[in-house]
Structure 1
Amino acid sequence: ISVRGYHRPRHDADFKSEDRLRENIRDTCGLLVMIIHSRVYLLHQTAKEFLVRNNELLSTDYINPNLQWKHILLPHKSHKMLAEICIFCLLLSDDFYRSLLEDLESQPTNNRILFDYSANYWAMHLRESHTKISESMAKSIMRICDVNSTICMDWLSIFWEKKSNTNLPSKLTTLMVVSYFGLDAMVKMILSNMGNDKELNAQDGTYERSALSWAAGNGFDDVVKLLARGRRSWRRKFTLLLLGNVSEINSIDASGRTPLFHAIWHGNAAVVETLIKAGARLEVTDNIGGTPLFYAMSYRREAIVKLLLKHGATPRSGDKMSTKLFFSAVEKGDLQVVQLFIDSGFDIESREGHNMTPLLLAIEMGYRDIIQVLLD
């Protein structure tokens, strides 16, 4: 609450002692909250129901005038406030949190909880605020998403460590970052300032995924539409009319997968349809033999299966292919596919056509991470 956008050096922010902060919170919130082990909790679920207005309730005429606090919190405004605080906090990371973390080396890690929270949730709060991004806010977002800055790498590494069981990709671009987090306004801004398609077609240095692939994998349809359309120029429009946006839509990553694969894994039918309409190939096979239709069938994405069949995807055999693909994923050490199969309820003891179970195969190949998920 003490962090503001105009703060720069560490001493600018007026941090109160914890005891003083407890008093301020109690004075403001009364009996609606309680503080336990330095964490603030609502007294009861009914407190949330009392304070937070349902988005469907447009009018407050039904509220008794004497109940001044009832439904006083609007979710989109709360998200906007939290987004601003998180962004300001991340902007302070260079000259503020570096010095703060140096002072806290011997202290518990929960002293840096605001920075960690900001790193993990700023983009979510911004999306949920559904607010029009001002010019000053856009500049701030571009600063924290600038992959050439230490600010971006600091918070992104914290986010990635918590949210993913994979390594943070190398050679990311700013377009990839804002696309990954579904920030359509920022994507539009970058596209409008592009002189060519180099960044649009760029792939990261680890998984070789494009901005479109990251956006599709996270289910951000508005961003996918923007990237599929690309930058605006008369030459590009002419090319799109003749050939479509085939190269970007069907860019293949290190695992042999196009953005369509990742959209299917996420389960977002709207994104899948957007990609198909933009020219996504349906009869494409990844490095372990999987096709878009097969993955959709394996993970019971009924709406997506119907969509793929409607647009001409060719069905292939069922259970035998499932087992073959699962063993292929284990043999090649593809942890992501193995985890998807397990999450879908696949029988990991299956050995149809094989002399050993998937676990024995993983042990033989020496894949510790896959052995662990199979044992879990």
Structure 2
Amino acid sequence: MITTQKITEGDIIKALQKGDVAFFQAHQIDGDYRIVNPEFDGDTLFLSSLADSNSELYLYFLEQGANLFSPNSLGENALHSIAFSKDSQRLKHILKANLSCIEMLNNTAISGETPLHYSILFENMGYFDALIELGAEVNCTDNEGCSPLHLACMIKLDDEKDNLHIVKTLLERGANPLLKTKLGNYPLALAINNDLYRVAKLLWEYQIANKDISLKDS
């Protein structure tokens, strides 16, 4: 980082939140600057701006050659960050900048969650579809044994049609409904417990129609 005057991290954070490209140009601060403030979980400026739905600053950092593969202190990479933004189009910009970023598709955060997990957790439907099309692993489980299918049965979205879409898509891509969490919960049980009755019906009918499915299929 090169600068001609004394600035503080507080100044940098303010400029980040304002999306002030001129500030970063003037002080020659690049997207790889790692924010010390613990509230940012070790994000670089690039990761933080990428996760902010109100910011386009990440595009500037992309142009400046930001490191796209550097995770934060939670182990979240650029593909995790996009989930926070609710803007699935950001994935196209990342892959255009470096197609090798697809190698992070199934990388896990410290919690064991992949970008696909995050797309469901943060209700980013367009991003979920995009990750599925790229070939995201559907039977990956986090540290609690939760697969994306478990999350889709655990989180009641505003419209149950979205839960149905996620569950149907995951099943079509080979998600195993017989996987249990570390607490012993099946997706079907979670759907019932969360009053997702149409999802529960879909899972029940799928399991009846696919009686030969087993844990070995995951």
TM-score range, shorter chain: 0.5 to 0.7
Residue 324 of structure 1: aligned partner: 184
Residue 82 of structure 2: aligned partner: 215
The question of 1:258 aligning with 2:114 is answered yes
The question of 1:201 aligning with 2:72 is answered no
1:323 to partner: Cα distance: 5.1
Give deviations 1:260-309, integer Å, cap 9, x for gaps: 11111111211101111222111211122110111111223333223323
For 1:315 and 1:203, locate their aligned partners in 2 and report how far apart those are by CA, in whole Å: 31
For 1:211 and 1:271, locate their aligned partners in 2 and report how far apart those are by CA, in whole Å: 13
CA contact (8 A) 1:246 1:280 kept: no
Give deviations 1:343-362, integer Å, cap 9, x for gaps: x68xxxxxxxxxxxxxxxxx
CA contact (8 A) 2:46 2:58 kept: yes
The question of 1:140 aligning with 2:23 is answered yes
CA contact (8 A) 1:218 1:263 kept: no
TM-score (norm 1): 0.39
Counterpart of 2:97 (choices 196, 209, 231) is: 231
Residue 202 of structure 2: aligned partner: none
The question of 1:304 aligning with 2:169 is answered no
**Structure 2 SS opposite 1:194:** coil
Residue 60 of structure 2: aligned partner: 189
The letter for the 2-side match of 1:202 is S
The question of 1:169 aligning with 2:41 is answered yes
**Structure 1 SS opposite 2:176:** coil
The farther-off stretch of 183-192 and 213-222 is: 183-192
Give deviations 1:113-134, integer Å, cap 9, x for gaps: xx9xx79x946xx7xxxxxxxx
Amino-acid identity (%):
22
Give unpaired runs (5+ residues) of structure 1: 1-7, 10-89, 95-114, 127-136, 161-167, 327-343, 346-376
CA contact (8 A) 1:182 1:223 kept: no
Higher relative contact order (CA 8 A, sep 6+): 2
TM-score (norm 2): 0.62
The letter for the 2-side match of 1:177 is S
Give deviations 1:172-196, integer Å, cap 9, x for gaps: 322211112136633233233328x
1:254 to partner: Cα distance: 0.9
CA contact (8 A) 1:178 1:187 kept: yes
CA contact (8 A) 1:293 1:313 kept: yes
Distance 1:193 1:92, change over 3 A: closer
Distance 1:255 1:267, change over 3 A: same
Number of residue pairs aligned between Structure 1 and Structure 2: 177
CA contact (8 A) 2:82 2:90 kept: yes
CA contact (8 A) 2:149 2:167 kept: yes
The letter for the 1-side match of 2:83 is A
1:316 to partner: Cα distance: 2.8
CA contact (8 A) 1:260 1:275 kept: yes
Larger Rg computed on CA atoms: 1
The letter for the 2-side match of 1:169 is D
Counting only pairs closer than 5 Å after superposition, residues 58-137 of structure 1 correspond to structure 2 as: 122=17, 137=20
CA contact (8 A) 1:263 1:272 kept: yes
For 1:254 and 1:93, locate their aligned partners in 2 and report how far apart those are by CA, in whole Å: 27
For 1:191 and 1:213, locate their aligned partners in 2 and report how far apart those are by CA, in whole Å: 16
CA contact (8 A) 1:288 1:325 kept: no
CA contact (8 A) 1:250 1:258 kept: yes
The letter for the 1-side match of 2:80 is S
Residue 163 of structure 1: aligned partner: none
Residue 72 of structure 1: aligned partner: none
The letter for the 2-side match of 1:260 is L
Distance 1:226 1:312, change over 3 A: farther
Give unpaired runs (5+ residues) of structure 2: 157-162, 187-193, 196-218
The letter for the 1-side match of 2:88 is D
The letter for the 2-side match of 1:225 is K
**Structure 1 SS opposite 2:142:** coil
